[in-house]
Amino acid sequence: MIDVDVLILYVSDVCNLRCTYCLWPKEEKVMITKNKNIRQKIATGEYFKKIKENVDTSHIHTLDLWGGEPTLNFDVFIPALKEHLSMFPNLKRISFSTNISKDFIVSNIIWFIKEFTPSFNLDIQLSLDGPSFINDETRINSTSSEIANNIFRLNDFLKSYEHTKCIYVDIKSTLNAGSINKLSNEDNLYKYFDFFDKCIDRCNISFGMSYVFPGEYTQENGYQYAKIINLLLYKWYKKNIKFKNIKMPYEDQHVLHVRKTIEAIIRLKRRQYVGEFIATSVCSVGDKRIAIDVDGNLRICHGVFFYYDELKTDYSTYENYLKHNMIAFNKLDKLRLMHNSAGIHNNVEFRGTYHQVLATELALSGQISKIYLKEPALLKMLAFVVSRHHCISDNIVNTGDMMLMDTSYLKLLGNGAFELITKYLGSKYDI
């Protein structure tokens, strides 16, 4: 029996959008068949029975709901969860991310909120990539204006709802290589922030930028990203360009992460919070968190829900063999899964060393700035920040190894952006 704090549930295998950067396979037939199975196992309570058989639920304080688009199956999931809530005596929080692209999704979210508050805290992440020239190009089958209107509708409900204190909602914008290239144009970048500024003004929901990773970024994408950072940290700073509701420049994911890294290093220097420093990873695999599918198979994280059951027997390709590493179909698998996840999580050193080498090789090959050959401290810091971003399921797909990231992220940051960020933050922190 595996004892975890956070349990990730596979609530849906279908999605109404076809985002260009989504790694979920979109074979209609497979999705529909698989989703039918998911709905049935949820509705009959089979899913919860499997959870009980495989996981010690007594310490679980958080349920993370994943898919597909989880809200599409809320019609069966909400009644089923209500019925089996007693399985989770210490449950405090439920979270999910939604594309909020349709009217009925808003209705489902509101239904969910009404059913589970104030008993539990809810974290709801709303995906909106930006104004139409960004969002409508990446989040196919949705429009920026439709999503924004749905967010406003949800907000109108929240304004009048009595238990809003236990609900945390935020908007997440995800940017890919194409979006970065567009935003490196100053006018576009202004329109992007202005769009979110106006959104927040109307709905008072916080906003954060993130980047698709690994994302297959090239050196050219790195230059474009450096232009964005230059605008955010230097040009606009000098011109005093500000937005009413956006904390510039910390809404940029990397600026924020580097800032947190610097703060962690400063704390480490003061011999404080060593554990926090070591644990600083975007990925929480190994952190007493496990995913479980409707058939009771444990999976290392939500990123591997889409590796299907045929992996049980199909070892004809090594890709399947590797993916199998992240899924436990039997007792021995479980042991290995927990062993490996502990190994990944506890190891900053290996990833840090690897990324230092990779950054050095990239610099020698002329694919990131040569400054990393001259400034070992900067190189180490870049490697550490990149290491924090590793996603094990993406790593398996891209490098064949759960701990090794490809060059994409180093190229995004290492072609000017990281230097600008560290220079800016260095002056703020006097280092």
- Cβ proximity of 21 and 215 under 8 Å: yes
CA distance 375 to 371: 6
Q: According to the binding rule CB under 8 A, does residue 344 interact with other proteins?
A: yes
Q: How many residues bind other proteins (CB under 8 A)?
A: 42
Q: According to the binding rule CB under 8 A, does residue 400 interact with other proteins?
A: yes
Q: According to the binding rule CB under 8 A, does residue 325 interact with other proteins?
A: yes
What is the Rg, in whole angstroms, of the alpha carbon atoms belonging to the chain?
A: 22
- Cβ proximity of 348 and 390 under 8 Å: no
Would you say 80 or 180 has its CB closer to other proteins? 180
Q: According to the binding rule CB under 8 A, does residue 387 interact with other proteins?
A: no
Among 364, 370, 373, 429, binds other proteins (CB under 8 A): 364
Would you say 130 or 222 has its CB closer to other proteins? 222
SS3 64: strand
CB atoms within 10 A of CB 151: 21
SS3 390: coil
Per-residue DSSP letter, 389: T
Q: According to the binding rule CB under 8 A, does residue 201 interact with other proteins?
A: no
Q: According to the binding rule CB under 8 A, does residue 412 interact with other proteins?
A: no
Which region, judged by CB under 8 A, interacts with other proteins, from 49-57, 229-237, 319-327, 421-429? 319-327
Q: According to the binding rule CB under 8 A, does residue 377 interact with other proteins?
A: no
Per-residue DSSP letter, 86: G
Could you tell me where the DSSP H helices lie in 139-252? 144-160, 177-183, 186-203, 219-230, 236-239
Among 166, 322, 338, 371, binds other proteins (CB under 8 A): 322
Would you say 231 or 344 has its CB closer to other proteins? 344
Q: According to the binding rule CB under 8 A, does residue 376 interact with other proteins?
A: no
From the CB of 387, what's the least distance to other proteins, in Å?
Answer: 12
SS3 323: helix
Please provide the DSSP assignment of 12-23 as one string.
-S--S---TT--
CA separation (Å) from 392 to 178, 292, 358, 381?
24, 17, 17, 21
Among 343, 374, 423, 429, binds other proteins (CB under 8 A): 343
Which region, judged by CB under 8 A, interacts with other proteins, from 13-21, 134-142, 249-257, 353-361? 353-361
Among 37, 263, 350, 380, binds other proteins (CB under 8 A): 350
Sequence-ordered list of residues with C-beta below 8 angstroms from that of 303, at least 6 positions apart, any chain: 23, 391, 392, 393, 394
DSSP bridge partners of 64? 8, 95
Among 101, 406, 419, 422, binds other proteins (CB under 8 A): 406
Q: According to the binding rule CB under 8 A, does residue 219 interact with other proteins?
A: yes
Q: What does the per-residue mask of binding to other proteins show for 159-198, with x meaning CB under 8 A?
A: ----------------------------------------
Upper half-sphere CA count for residue 141 (Cβ side, 13 Å) = 10
From the CB of 129, what's the least distance to other proteins, in Å?
Answer: 21
- Cβ proximity of 21 and 138 under 8 Å: yes
From the CB of 379, what's the least distance to other proteins, in Å?
Answer: 14
Q: According to the binding rule CB under 8 A, does residue 230 interact with other proteins?
A: no
Here the tokens at position 193 are: 């922030």
Closest Cα partner for 413 from 384, 393, 391?
Answer: 384
Among 10, 120, 217, 384, binds other proteins (CB under 8 A): 217
Per-residue DSSP letter, 170: E
Could you check whether the bond before residue 118 is cis, i.e. omega within 30 degrees of 0? yes
Q: According to the binding rule CB under 8 A, does residue 394 interact with other proteins?
A: no
Q: According to the binding rule CB under 8 A, does residue 390 interact with other proteins?
A: no
Positions in the binding site for other proteins (CB under 8 A): 216-219, 317-319, 321-322, 324-325, 336, 339-340, 342-344, 346-347, 349-350, 352-354, 357-358, 361-362, 364-365, 367, 398-404, 406-408, 411
